[in-house]
């Protein structure tokens, strides 16, 4: 079984190499025989782009294993996380596709929990939840409230009972992604993919994950505008179609 880890990157020079080392050294289930690490640089301007090009030419520096492959796709202009992910999904060749952010907020040590329902064939999609049991950094209460409200509204309209719709960690069988058409360019990806997967009536599981959130001083990018946009996308993709 082959896994594709799709990593959208935008201005993550400070963290991306450490993240790649964590991905190459993650404890993959024995059923995963090959790992494709697919980096998508969303036209970074802080030096991330040249760093990734250098890393792709010398992947030994991140500890790439014999059964692992590192691929790099450079976006021609900045298009947002959703657009970068669509590009990554189109290029991915794995049987299973896992989304990994490049900012160290999410820990590849959680891959066994995320992948187990898929490799054991009792799930088609897995969400990693920051709110059901594992360690997480304590940060902004207003972000927590917004997240819970957006998840509540999404659940109300999709009729699925997840606890963390906005999570980065989402894992799919490739054929599930091939059955939906995604259009959101920025952070609208999360409510869009949740709505469209729910409509497929596939087997969705949720597992607890660690979360080491960043402050804005440490480079966090999401703002209140993204919360307003997410609200619109929830209504758009669940009601308007």
Can you give the residue ranges of every domain in the chain?
A: 2-138+167-178+196-216
Question: Both tokens of residue 208?
Answer: 């607890």
CA distance 188 to 196: 12
- At 219 the pLDDT is 52
CA distance 54 to 42: 16
For the whole prediction, is pTM greater than 0.95?
A: no
Q: Looking at the domain that runs over 2-138+167-178+196-216, which CATH code has it been given? A: 3.90.550.10
Residues 178, 209, 165, 119, Cα dihedral to 10°:
20
Query: Does residue 205 register a pLDDT over 60?
Result: yes
Mean pLDDT is lowest, of 11-25, 84-98, 199-213, 220-234, for: 220-234
Query: Does residue 220 register a pLDDT over 60?
Result: no
């Amino acid at each position: 079984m082959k896994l594709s880890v799709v990593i959208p990157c935008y201005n993550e020079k400070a963290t991306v190499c450490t993240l790649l080392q964590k991905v190459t050294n993650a404890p993959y289930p024995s059923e995963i025989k090959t790992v494709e690490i697919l980096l998508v640089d969303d036209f970074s301007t802080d030096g991330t782009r040249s760093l990734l090009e250098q890393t792709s030419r010398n992947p030994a520096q991140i500890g790439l294993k014999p059964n692992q492959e590192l691929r790099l796709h450079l976006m021609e202009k900045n298009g947002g996380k959703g657009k970068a992910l669509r590009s990554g999904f189109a290029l991915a060749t794995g049987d299973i596709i896992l989304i990994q952010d490049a900012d160290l907020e999410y820990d590849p040590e959680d891959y066994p929990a995320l992948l187990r329902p898929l490799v054991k064939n009792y799930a088609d999609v897995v969400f990693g939840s920051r709110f059901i049991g594992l360690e997480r950094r304590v940060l902004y209460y207003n972000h927590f409230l917004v997240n819970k409200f957006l998840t509540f509204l999404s659940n109300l309209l999709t009729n699925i009972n997840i606890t963390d719709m906005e999570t980065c960690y989402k894992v799919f069988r490739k054929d599930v992604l091939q059955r939906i058409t995604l259009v959101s360019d920025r952070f609208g990806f999360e409510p869009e993919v949740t709505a469209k997967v729910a409509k497929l009536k596939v087997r969705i599981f949720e597992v607890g994950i660690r979360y080491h959130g960043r402050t804005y001083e440490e480079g966090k990018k999401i703002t209140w505008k993204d919360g307003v946009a997410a609200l619109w996308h929830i209504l758009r993709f669940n009601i308007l179609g």
